[in-house]
Structure 1
Amino acid sequence: MNETLKVLETRRSCRDFKPDMIRDDELKAIIKAGTYAPSGKNMQSAVIIAVTDKKLRDEIAEENRKIGGWKEGFDPFYGAPVILIVVADKSSPNHVYDGTLVMGNLMNAAESLGVASIWINRAKEEFESDFGKNILKRLGIEGEYEGIGHCALGYAASPAKEASSRKENYVYYI
């Protein structure tokens, strides 16, 4: 089978990460793949924020936990040591789609390198709050940005589950 199609069929969300930091060359390759995602009118409205600093990672996890309504001590990133946050410029009419394609590229690139991933929501709420706006301000990112998602990355602590069977009537041909 073609390697690209194999990655697309075998990638699964990971909910049990080892604490080990991923290699820098892997992280750079994953991020680069994200920057090559298609975007409407090639506006490239998405921005990737790579979080490898444990203190900030844990602050983001805590904010995400609060938004999600989980009990103290729960880690919504399942121990992943890296979080790639995708935000997109609201001035682009395609910003949500653009950011979503970036997320897909990030996760598929990670899988191709043996790095596990999971898409974690609530980035929209995070970056509507002062917490998220302060992160953007610290980075010098100006304008109105919407949080699209968090791509949590790391090495899987347990094997990925098998894919669920595909639903009936997934595709219609004309």
Structure 2
Amino acid sequence: MSETLKVLETRRSCRAFKPELIEEEKLQAIIKAGTYAATGMGRQSPIIIAVTNKELRDKLSAMNAKFMGKDESFDPFYGAQELLIVLANKAMPTYLYDGTLVMGNLMNAAADLGVDSCWIHRAKEEFETPEGKELLKSLGIEGDYEGIGHLVLGYAAAPLKEAAPRKADYVYYVR
């Protein structure tokens, strides 16, 4: 079996991270993989924001927790200290699919490099707020972007679960 297929079959979401940061070269390789995701007509509508700044990471965690209906002390990022935020330009008709493919590439590249990850939702809600819009503006990001997701990155604090068996009616063949 190819290494790619092994990664796809064994990648799992991590929900408990060690506090250590990942190596810079691994972070850059993961980001690069995200930039090679397929996009509608090759227009590359998504952008990736790499957050390694603890203050911003904690601010985003608190915002995300609010949208979950949780207290700000709850960490929806599971202790991961680094995250990649994917947003996509809503002017493109394929923006949602484009951003989703970027998230997939990021997750699979991380797994291939031995870095654990988890897709955290509610980026859409965060970046629809005045605070989220101001954050983008402060980063020099202009345009009508929708948050697709956060990918938290790090190393698992405990072994990850095995894959669940695939459901029997996952695939229908028409031959």
TM range, normalised to the smaller chain?
Answer: over 0.9
Q: Which residue pairs with 2:93 in the alignment? A: 93
Work out the percentage of aligned pairs sharing the same amino acid.
66
Q: Which runs of 5+ in 1 are unaligned?
A: none
The alpha-carbon deviation at position 72 of structure 1 amounts to: 3.6
Q: Which residue pairs with 1:149 in the alignment? A: 149
The alpha-carbon deviation at position 80 of structure 1 amounts to: 0.5
C-alpha distance in 2, partners of 1:72/1:66?
7
Q: Which residue pairs with 1:66 in the alignment? A: 66
**Ranges of 4+ aligned residues in structure 1 off by more than 3 Å:** none
C-alpha distance in 2, partners of 1:89/1:7?
29
Q: Which residue pairs with 2:39 in the alignment? A: 39
The alpha-carbon deviation at position 70 of structure 1 amounts to: 1.3
Asked if 1:5 corresponds to 2:5, the answer is yes
How large is the Cα RMSD of the aligned pairs? 0.7
Question: What SS does the corresponding residue of 1:87 show, helix, strand or coil?
Answer: strand
Q: Which residue pairs with 1:168 in the alignment? A: 168
TM-score, L = length of structure 2: 0.98
TM-score, L = length of structure 1: 0.98
Question: What SS does the corresponding residue of 1:169 show, helix, strand or coil?
Answer: coil
Deviations 1:86-125 (A, max 9, x none): 0000000000000000000000000000000000000000
C-alpha distance in 2, partners of 1:81/1:7?
23
Asked if 1:19 corresponds to 2:1, the answer is no
Residue correspondences, number: 174
Between 40-49 and 126-135, report the one with greater CA deviation: 126-135
Q: Which runs of 5+ in 2 are unaligned?
A: none
Paired AA for residue 156 in structure 1: A
Question: What SS does the corresponding residue of 1:151 show, helix, strand or coil?
Answer: strand
The alpha-carbon deviation at position 134 of structure 1 amounts to: 1.2
Asked if 1:53 corresponds to 2:53, the answer is yes
Task: Confirm or deny: 8 A CA contact 2:63 2:72 kept in the other structure.
Answer: no
Question: What SS does the corresponding residue of 1:33 show, helix, strand or coil?
Answer: helix
C-alpha distance in 1, partners of 2:120/2:28?
20
